[in-house]
Amino acid sequence: MGDPKGFLQIDQQMPKRRPVNKRVNDWKEVYRKPEEKTVVKQASRCMDCGVPFCNAGCPLNNLIPEWNDLVYKNQWKEAYERLSRTNNFPEFTGTLCPAPCEPACVLSINAKPVTIKQIELAIIDKAFEKGWVRPILPKKRTGKKVAVIGSGPAGLAAAQQLNRMGHDVVIFERSDRIGGLIRYGIPEFKMEKKRLDRRLKQMVEEGIVFKTNSNIGHAISTKSLEKTFDAIILTVGASQPRDLVIKGRNLNGIHFAMDYLTLQNKICEGDLIAKEEMITAIGKRVVIIGGGDTGSDCMGTAHRQKAQSIVQLQHRAIPPVTRTVNNPWPQVAQTFAISPSQEEGGKREFSVITKEFIGKDNKVIGIKAAKANTIRDANGNRTIEEIPGSEFEIPADLVLIAIGYSGVEQNGLVSGFGLELSPRGSIAVNEERMTNKKGIFAAGDATRGQSLIVWAIAEGRQVADHVNRFLE
């Protein structure tokens, strides 16, 4: 432990955001790069607890106190080496993870936690700047071939681990670029794709093969993969969006959030989108249905596209400012928060349900909504009850549905492999992450449903270990 009194003498200093009036006019990352001395001071606040709950709060079990201490001692390379033992992609979690480790920090009992996420990102950024991130090649090749279907964080983590174990790995991606939702679902202002591209460069140099425009179960048959590869890993995500089956759903101007975000990400990549295919908020009254991260991403995108107005609807009640007795430390705090996108403007409505889409000339012009109460029974199950007489209308030219996902897509891949699904619509796996088909494994959102990027990386690493044992 570097500074036994650090947490007593130094206050928490969160990463600084760029001014709203500047960042809404470009697609660069919202957060400024902190000064090195600031990061070192923040690392000194880590108490090196007897029981570091931050480790347990992190699905990757990152060795957080260890690399905090190394940063405090200015041993940055050693900190990078310690961080890389448990996390393949700290630049992804350092920008995109909601950091469940921080509310689990022991300081959170009665103070503000260590800024773990900020320190993690600073470590990996310095590692790339100094050239410490290099290809890691296996000492020998096993001759075993593994196919990874899907190139999101779970697939990339599994592929990198297996390749370093000596297996030959090919990643198949149905889109035109590698990265999955990191590439096309995450806006540039949350994570610039240069972070992804520099990591993919390392993976190519390590010997991993990427094949894009490869839609397994359609353009490429599942049978051909089973014949060619010794093991197959499915990391296809939970990309089947939940829909609102209400009156007016077929009106023009109503879209799923991911369709909207993907098009803007393609534009940021330099692609030209046909006018008839483009979904844009320019000059429009935008209503976003859904209060989660995806809805917030839509809000930030609409701000940068210069929407006329933005309203974000959420059926849940506004969270409390501080923890309740039912949400104690070290659980993730279910408290009110303002994302960078919400800070940029727009209106948030809580305890609201959408009842009907209003249209004219086959185009959406508004939403009929109502106030609602969330009721919990003795088992904790929730029901939403409309408050009588609370109906109101919201004008809208563009409606974005961001209410989550219902599992994997029911497409040629699932039927082609003959996979069993769980009651939640995810791919069913056993304790070794193997599906009902021998030699075919699955991990990430495809098995656990929509979740955090840190869980995807953790499960990618786990499935790699299971596949390696299977191949041996």
- The residue assigned the tokens 């219902």 is 406
pLDDT band of residue 375 (cuts 50, 70, 90) is confident
Indicate if the pLDDT at residue 1 is higher than 80: no
137 within some domain = no
Q: Where are the alpha helices (DSSP H) in 179-272?
A: 181-184, 194-205, 222-228, 257-268
Angstrom distance (rounded) from CA 370 to CA 443: 39
115 within some domain = yes
- Do 418 and 298 share a structural domain? no
Number of domains within the chain = 3
- CA distances to 136, 284, 402, 461 from 308, rounded to whole Å, are 50, 5, 20, 44
Residue-range definition of the domain harbouring residue 425: 145-239+406-471
Residue 2's pLDDT is what? 62
218 within some domain = yes
Residue 194's pLDDT is what? 97
The strand pairing partners of 87, in sequence order, are none
- Last residue of one domain, picked from the residues 70, 95, 130: 130
Which CATH number characterizes residue 40's domain?
1.10.1060.10
Indicate if the pLDDT at residue 312 is higher than 70: yes
The segment with the largest mean pLDDT, out of 14-23, 44-53, 378-387, is 14-23
138 within some domain = no
- Do 345 and 270 share a structural domain? yes
Angstrom distance (rounded) from CA 454 to CA 92: 9
- Do 410 and 386 share a structural domain? no
Indicate if the pLDDT at residue 455 is higher than 70: yes
pLDDT band of residue 382 (cuts 50, 70, 90) is confident
Indicate if the pLDDT at residue 151 is higher than 80: yes
**Across the chain, how many H-helices and E-strands are there?**
18, 14
pLDDT band of residue 441 (cuts 50, 70, 90) is very high
Indicate if the pLDDT at residue 55 is higher than 80: yes
Residue 383's pLDDT is what? 87
Per-residue H/E/C for 338-401: CCHHHHCCCEEECCEEEEEEEEECCEEEEEEEEEEEEEECCCCCEEEEECCCCCEEEECCEEEE
Indicate if the pLDDT at residue 220 is higher than 90: yes
**Using one digit for the tens of pLDDT, what is the confidence trace for 338-360?**
999 999 999 999 999 999 999 99
- Do 112 and 25 share a structural domain? yes
What is the edge-to-edge ordering of all strands in the sheet holding 309-313? 254-256, 398-401, 285-289, 309-313, 347-349
Angstrom distance (rounded) from CA 256 to CA 399: 8
Residue 164's pLDDT is what? 98
pLDDT band of residue 381 (cuts 50, 70, 90) is confident
359 within some domain = yes
228 within some domain = yes
Kindly report which listed range (201-205, 215-219, 290-294, 408-412) carries the lowest average pLDDT score: 408-412
451 within some domain = yes
- The residue assigned the tokens 């976003």 is 288
Q: Tell me the pairing of strands 382-386 and 363-376.
A: antiparallel
Query: First CA to last CA across the chain, in angstroms?
Result: 41
